[in-house]
């Protein structure tokens, strides 16, 4: 049985329990909206869409917030993973709420239900229909299309590869592995591929979901002894797209199933597209055979943005919003907000909203006033050059030694400390860090990070020294 629900809708409850039920007014609706916003901010977009967005507030009855979700499995997972935080956020908004009751909407349908103890639940057959592969697919954002993706040197290879897959009939490389930092466009490209394939080849089955949701579906299949249906779901698609594959790091059973799914699809010449925050070789907690398979096809890095790319993105965004933004304001934002595209676009949206609501023209002064917190945070961002300078001063070596080929311990150890701090305090990838240290390979940076970690565990004095450097840089 399929339940068509609007996940973010707040439903007014019609209670048959009498005066204990408190119907929901605008105040309650606003409180629930703020709780949802906090959940989204704290747990991230992926977890929010998969688990928290489907929560529907039915009513406030006495001191209890009564909520529903579409399935029993989702109810169980939310109760074990999110309920405590959900209650805390509710209590902050409404001190009268001291408990939360979560039910699944299927429990109210007229169907036969088997009641069992939780301890033997895994031995029973789940009565809920196993969703098809297409129903598992996450919703696609209609803003994330190829024509809205601004191309520059940092992302040109990833864009060209994604476009080739989105438009081509044959499989040019398999898998396509996209990696890069947060907010640089990986998800945008994956959505673009899915949109294009669905438009040009609607007969193809395209399944797009996060690695987190893949794992949860696998757990569900194990719990309800339904692994054959799970395998059929994922191995019957034409294109499988898994976002944020680093999430399954350290989860051996999920990796095992993903490995076999991956092999089955590639053997059938079905396209697999993966995204992660690191390259396959740099993924910690992933089996070596999996790293090898992920690197089989094309590995495309999306590098940090350049000034020219950031300016192009802002200009494109302003055109989409059909609003005139002075060139000097766009240039100012492109210079100041260097972290990622998501933050950059968010700053422009915030500025445009302020101008529209308050009725003031967008100017350089307005931008500095409205975005002062964001600009201050970006001004404080630590650079690799700053780390190298501070570490060189601390160990009394020349700054040029950070780039030299000398391997004496007096030089190599401070250089390793600087690489370690660069990994900890910046969003730069390992290859980018290596390039900043005399063009070294990313494996050298990986070795440095592991070595410093080992020394910190065995030498408390050395660990305090590194902590001191970190506090000096952060302060």
Report the C-alpha gap between 260 and 276 in whole angstroms.
Answer: 19
Contact 215, 250 (CB under 8 A): no
What confidence score (pLDDT) does residue 145 get?
92
Selection from 327, 317, 323 nearest residue 150 by Cα? 317
Q: Which two tokens stand for residue 53?
A: 């967005």
- Enclosing H/E stretch for 375: helix 372-379
- Evaluate whether 336 touches 316 at the Cβ level (below 8 Å): no
Task: Per residue of the chain (475 residues), give pLDDT as tens.
Answer: 444 433 343 433 333 333 333 446 788 888 898 899 888 888 777 677 777 888 888 888 888 998 988 777 678 778 877 888 898 898 888 888 888 999 876 544 433 333 332 332 333 334 444 555 556 778 888 889 999 999 998 899 999 999 999 987 676 788 999 998 888 899 999 999 999 998 888 888 999 999 988 998 888 888 888 788 888 888 889 999 999 998 888 888 889 889 999 988 988 889 999 999 888 988 888 888 888 889 889 999 998 888 899 999 999 988 888 888 899 999 988 888 877 888 888 889 888 888 888 888 888 888 888 888 777 766 656 789 889 998 998 898 999 889 888 888 889 999 999 999 999 888 788 888 998 998 898 899 999 999 999 999 998 889 888 988 888 887 5
Neighbours of 331 (CB within 10 A): 15
Residue 9 has what pLDDT?
38
What strand order describes the sheet that includes 21-22? 21-22, 56-61, 64-69, 99-104
Q: How far is the CA of 281 from the CAs of 3, 277, 386, 434, 439, in angstroms?
A: 42, 12, 28, 15, 18
pLDDT (0 to 100) of residue 315: 92
What are the distances in angstroms from CA 261 to CA 200, 283, 287, 388, 435?
Answer: 25, 19, 15, 44, 36
Q: Which position has the token pair 């055109």?
A: 319
Each residue's pLDDT tens digit, 16-63? 333 333 446 788 888 898 899 888 888 777 677 777 888 888 888 888
Query: Whole-prediction pTM value?
Result: 0.56
Per-residue DSSP letter, 441: -
- Dihedral (CA of 125, 210, 143, 381) sign: positive
pLDDT at residue 120 in the model: 28
For the beta carbon of residue 435, count every other beta carbon within 10 angstroms.
Answer: 16
3-state secondary structure of 83: helix
Q: Decide: 175 and 264 in contact? Cβ < 8 Å.
A: no
Query: Can the peptide bond before residue 175 be classed as cis, meaning omega within 30 degrees of 0?
Result: yes
């Amino acid at each position: 049985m399929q339940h068509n629900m609007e996940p973010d809708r707040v439903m007014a409850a019609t209670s048959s329990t009498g005066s204990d039920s408190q119907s929901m007014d605008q105040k309650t609706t606003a409180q629930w909206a703020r709780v949802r916003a906090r959940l989204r901010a704290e747990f991230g977009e992926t977890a929010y869409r998969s688990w928290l967005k489907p929560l529907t507030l039915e009513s406030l009855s006495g001191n209890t917030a009564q909520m529903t979700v579409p399935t029993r499995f989702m109810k169980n997972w939310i109760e074990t993973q999110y309920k405590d935080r959900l209650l805390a956020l509710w209590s902050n908004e409404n001190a009268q709420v001291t408990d939360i009751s979560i039910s699944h909407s299927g429990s109210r349908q007229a169907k036969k239900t088997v009641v069992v103890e939780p301890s033997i639940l895994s031995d029973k057959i789940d009565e809920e229909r196993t969703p098809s592969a297409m129903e598992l697919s996450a919703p696609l954002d209609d803003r994330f299309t190829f024509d809205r993706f601004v191309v520059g040197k940092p992302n040109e290879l990833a864009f060209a590869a994604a476009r080739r897959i989105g438009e081509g009939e044959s499989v040019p490389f398999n898998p396509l592995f996209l990696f890069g930092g947060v907010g640089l466009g990986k998800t945008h490209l994956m959505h673009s591929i899915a949109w294009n394939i669905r438009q040009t080849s609607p007969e193809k089955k395209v399944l797009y979901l996060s690695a987190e949701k893949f794992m949860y579906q696998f757990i569900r299949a194990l719990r309800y002894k339904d692994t054959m249906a799970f395998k059929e779901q994922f191995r019957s698609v034409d294109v499988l797209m898994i976002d944020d594959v680093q999430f399954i790091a350290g989860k051996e059973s999920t990796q095992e199933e993903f490995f076999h799914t991956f092999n089955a699809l590639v053997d059938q010449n079905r396209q697999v597209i993966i995204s992660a925050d690191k390259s396959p070789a740099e993924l910690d907690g992933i089996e070596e055979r999996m790293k090898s398979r992920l690197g089989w096809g094309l590995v495309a890095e999306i590098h940090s943005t350049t000034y020219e790319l950031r300016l192009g993105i802002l200009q494109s965004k302003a055109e989409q919003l059909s609003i005139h933004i002075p060139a000097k304001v766009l240039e100012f934002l492109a210079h100041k907000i260097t972290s990622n595209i998501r933050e950059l676009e968010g700053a422009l949206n915030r500025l445009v909203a302020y101008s529209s609501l308050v009725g003031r023209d967008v100017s350089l002064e307005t931008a500095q006033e409205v975005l002062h917190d964001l600009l201050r945070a970006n001004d404080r961002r630590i650079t690799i050059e700053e780390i190298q300078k501070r570490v060189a001063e601390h160990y009394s070596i020349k700054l040029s030694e950070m780039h030299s080929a000398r391997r004496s311990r007096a030089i190599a150890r401070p250089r390793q400390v600087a690489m370690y701090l660069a990994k900890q305090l910046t969003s730069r990838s390992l290859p980018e860090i290596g390039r900043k240290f005399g063009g070294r390979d990313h494996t050298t940076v990986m070795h440095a990070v592991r070595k410093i970690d080992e020394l910190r565990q065995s030498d408390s004095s050395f660990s305090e020294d590194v902590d001191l450097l970190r506090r000096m840089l952060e302060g």
